């Protein structure tokens, strides 16, 4: 057990990497943990901490001119403090500047993240963990683990341990803050389970390395812990990343569909087939496929004959709900009115994911599907807008909605109707949507269905 009032100072700019190190230390040792973003901040902490800082972990970044000041401070006044310097590559450090200091150890980041447990054991001189049956960790640490692989407990005033978090449960930041407001600042994990949690952390390390802004993995609500590491889309601080193999798979589907543009049947035949064909309930892929065919065929009736126009709609059809791939139940929500009636049954993460998915899917197209035709991301960004301004995410009115987006919005609404009604009735849909799409472009688009419906009656 570490002595009282002993701290480890983390001087790490990369937020995700700082979190990872904090959790690993917190699970393994009983030191207090102080986190800062720069050596200038670290120097201030060092000055004010007296001799309570036993160990400093510093991630070297270019242009951090206060680093050597911190080194000098340790050398002159904190001889018992050890300093671990983490670098991208050993060649990037002038080792001769550091080797004169016996208290400094330099490690490449890849090695540190791969073997951080062994690194800590060696550098912290194999100090033992808490001798109790349970290991106390900071409540905030649970926010940095994607579903802890162990039950977590709280310690009652009687000394009894009561389970607070079940294995696999993911606590949201709001939940953690609620517990802290109830004066629950720590949880306890059984000592024999700590190594399992550290192994779990190792599995996540590669995500931290590959995607420095890592937040969480988009996943199915009922996925097991192991499945969480097999998901294809990673959400990052200000961006989304996509697994390369999954990206190639999607690109292959898009390419095949685009190649089949000239073989797409007329809209009338598609609607007839929809009416006569029973489908298995697999909403998201069927929804995407129907949108591909219906939007591309619909353009012919509007005089939009170019292949480029159809390509934009096909890309948008396949990618518009991309960030909902791990939560397909959210893709079944057609509009804001439905969402408002259901949002009480969703977690805060699910609510945030749904509201932002048009913007985030559009962002993912720009970053990972550069071959997509221009304006594809506009269609995706606007696909939940409505002509009366009651859509989302921006709530814009019909005059600011792109014409192709307008077609996509109507087709999206129609496909949802088809997918959620056992009996496909075009007349019933037209009656239901008669007050939804009355403005200009939207009315012209809907009139295509009216003409097809009228032709069907005459035939």
Q: Scanning the structure block, which residue is given the tokens 């791939």?
A: 325
The pLDDT of residue 446 is 94
- Sheet strands side by side (includes 240-242): 214-217, 233-236, 240-242
What is the pLDDT averaged over residues 355-382? 92
What is the pLDDT averaged over residues 230-243? 54
Delimiting residues of CATH 1.10.3210.10 domain(s) in the chain: 242-458
Contacts of 254 (CB under 8 A, 6+ apart): 314, 315, 318, 319
Q: What does each C-alpha distance from 424 to 269, 300, 301 come to in angstroms?
A: 14, 23, 21
The pLDDT of residue 30 is 67
Contacts of 141 (CB under 8 A, 6+ apart): 22, 23, 26, 27
The pLDDT of residue 378 is 97
Which of 47-51, 66-70, 352-356 has the least mean pLDDT? 47-51
**Confidence class of residue 94 from pLDDT cuts 50, 70 and 90?**
low
* pTM of the predicted model as reported, rounded to 2 decimal places: 0.56
Bigger pLDDT: 68 vs 160? 68
Sequence-ordered strand ranges (E) for 272-344 = none
In our burial notation (b when 16+ CB lie closer than 10 A, e otherwise), range 43-70 reads bebbeeeeebbbbbbbbbbeebebbeeb
What is the pLDDT averaged over residues 34-46? 89
Predicted confidence (pLDDT) per residue in 190-220, tens digit? 877 777 766 665 555 554 444 444 344 444 4
Q: Is the pLDDT of residue 236 over 60?
A: no
Bigger pLDDT: 300 vs 95? 300
Q: Are 232 and 220 in contact (CB under 8 A)?
A: no
Q: How far apart are the first and last CA of the chain?
A: 86
**Confidence class of residue 124 from pLDDT cuts 50, 70 and 90?**
low
Q: Are 75 and 87 in contact (CB under 8 A)?
A: no
Bigger pLDDT: 285 vs 127? 285
The count of residues in the chain is 459
Give backbone dihedrals phi and psi of 225, rounded to 5 degrees, phi first: -60, -45
1-127: which CATH number, 3.40.367.20, 1.20.1330.10, 3.90.1150.10, 3.40.50.2300? 3.40.50.2300
What is the pLDDT averaged over residues 10-14? 86
Residue 100, classed as helix, strand or coil, is coil
Query: So what's the architecture of 242-458 in CATH?
Result: Orthogonal Bundle (1.10)
Percent of the chain's residues with pLDDT above 90: 26
Q: Are 113 and 208 in contact (CB under 8 A)?
A: yes
Q: Is the pLDDT of residue 343 over 70?
A: yes
Pairing mode, if any, of strands 214-217 and 233-236? antiparallel
Which of 94-98, 137-141, 328-332 has the least mean pLDDT? 94-98
The pLDDT of residue 270 is 79
In our burial notation (b when 16+ CB lie closer than 10 A, e otherwise), range 170-206 reads bbeeebbeebeeeeeebbbbbeebbeebbebbeebbe
Query: So what's the architecture of 130-199 in CATH?
Result: Alpha-Beta Complex (3.90)
What is the pLDDT averaged over residues 1-9? 65
């Amino acid at each position: 057990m570490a002595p009282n009032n002993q701290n480890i100072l983390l001087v790490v700019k990369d937020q995700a990497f700082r979190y990872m190190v904090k959790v690993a230390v917190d699970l393994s040792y009983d030191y207090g943990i102080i986190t800062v973003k720069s050596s200038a901040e670290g120097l201030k902490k060092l000055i004010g901490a007296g001799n309570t800082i036993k160990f400093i972990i510093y991630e070297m970044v270019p242009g951090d001119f206060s680093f050597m000041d911190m080194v000098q401070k340790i050398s002159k006044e904190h001889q018992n403090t050890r300093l671990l310097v983490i670098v991208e590559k050993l060649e990037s450090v002038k080792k001769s500047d550091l080797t004169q200091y016996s208290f400094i150890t330099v490690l490449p980041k890849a090695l540190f993240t791969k073997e951080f447990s062994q690194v800590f054991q060696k550098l912290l001189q194999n100090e033992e963990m808490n001798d109790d049956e349970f290991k106390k960790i900071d409540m905030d640490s649970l926010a940095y683990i994607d579903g802890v692989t162990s039950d977590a407990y709280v310690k009652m005033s009687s000394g009894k341990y009561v389970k607070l978090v079940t294995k696999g449960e993911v606590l949201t930041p709001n939940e953690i803050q609620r517990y802290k407001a109830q004066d629950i600042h720590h949880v306890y994990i059984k000592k024999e389970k700590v190594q399992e949690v550290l192994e779990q952390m190792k599995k996540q390390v590669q995500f931290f390395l590959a995607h420095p802004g890592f937040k969480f993995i988009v996943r199915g609500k009922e996925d097991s812990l192991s499945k969480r590491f097999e998901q294809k889309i990673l959400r990052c601080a200000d961006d989304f990343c996509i697994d390369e193999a999954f990206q190639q798979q999607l690109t292959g589907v898009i390419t095949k569909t685009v190649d089949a543009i000239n073989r797409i049947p007329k809209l009338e035949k598609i609607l007839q087939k929809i009416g006569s064909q029973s489908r298995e309930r697999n909403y998201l892929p069927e929804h995407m496929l129907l949108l591909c065919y219906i939007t591309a065929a619909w353009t012919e009736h509007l005089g939009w004959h170019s292949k480029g126009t159809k390509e934009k709609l096909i890309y948008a059809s396949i990618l518009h709900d991309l960030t909902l791939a791990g939560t397909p139940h959210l893709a079944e929500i057609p509009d804001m009115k439905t969402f408002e009636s259901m949002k009480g049954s969703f977690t805060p993460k699910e609510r945030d994911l749904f509201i932002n998915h048009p913007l985030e899917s559009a962002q993912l197209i720009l970053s990972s599907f550069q071959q997509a035709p221009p304006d594809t991301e506009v269609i995706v960004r606007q696909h939940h807008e409505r002509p009366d301004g009651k859509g989302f995410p921006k709530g814009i009115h019909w005059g600011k909605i792109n014409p192709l987006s307008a077609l996509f919005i109507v087709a999206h609404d129609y496909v949802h109707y088809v997918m959620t009604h056992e009996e496909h009735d075009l007349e019933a849909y037209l009656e239901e949507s008669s007050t939804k799409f009355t403005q200009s472009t939207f009315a012209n688009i809907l009139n295509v269905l009216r003409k097809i419906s009228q032709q069907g009656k005459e035939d």
